[in-house]
Amino acid sequence: NAGVTQTPKFQVLKTGQSMTLQCAQDMNHEYMSWYRQDPGMGLRLIHYSVGAGITDQGEVPNGYNVSRSTTEDFPLRLLSAAPSQTSVYFCASSYSTGLAGVPGEQYFGPGTRLTVT
């Protein structure tokens, strides 16, 4: 298994540009999430999905959109990039524990390092 994969590894954008960060997992996990990691702020949840067709907001969703049309893919779209979105972005996936709404062990992708100038 490849696990959780993310593309691109690095990206530089100008303010106002849009782009999509790709995330895919081959473990048939129901749950997928996007986090951003910033120095001194730790990891913060942007959006998450509990299955194909179902997404919801995390704690820092503004400026980002997601969709989940398949179990495997969970792309993150930056609508109009801002310097405040300079960060490292991680995608993660989890299996279902069988308890309603409770994911199990979380697996992370290698990250996308984004710089907005």
Partner 1 sequence: KQEVTQIPAALSVPEGENLVLNCSFTDSAIYNLQWFRQDPGKGLTSLLLIQSSQREQTSGRLNASLDKSSGRSTLYIAASQPGDSATYLCAVRNYGGATNKLIFGTGTLLAVQP
Contacts to partner 1 by CB under 8 A: 4, 31, 33, 40, 42-43, 45, 48, 50, 56, 58-59, 90, 92, 97, 99, 101-111, 113
In the complex with partner 1, the residue whose CB is nearer, 14 or 105, is 105
Please give the C-alpha separations between residue 46 and each of 1, 54, 82, 89, in angstroms, as whole numbers.
Answer: 26, 15, 15, 9
In the complex with partner 1, the residue whose CB is nearer, 44 or 77, is 44
Cα 107 to chain centroid distance, Å, stands at: 12
In the complex with partner 1, the residue whose CB is nearer, 14 or 42, is 42
Q: Which two tokens stand for residue 22?
A: 């790709």
At closest approach, how far in Å is the CB of 107 from partner 1? 6
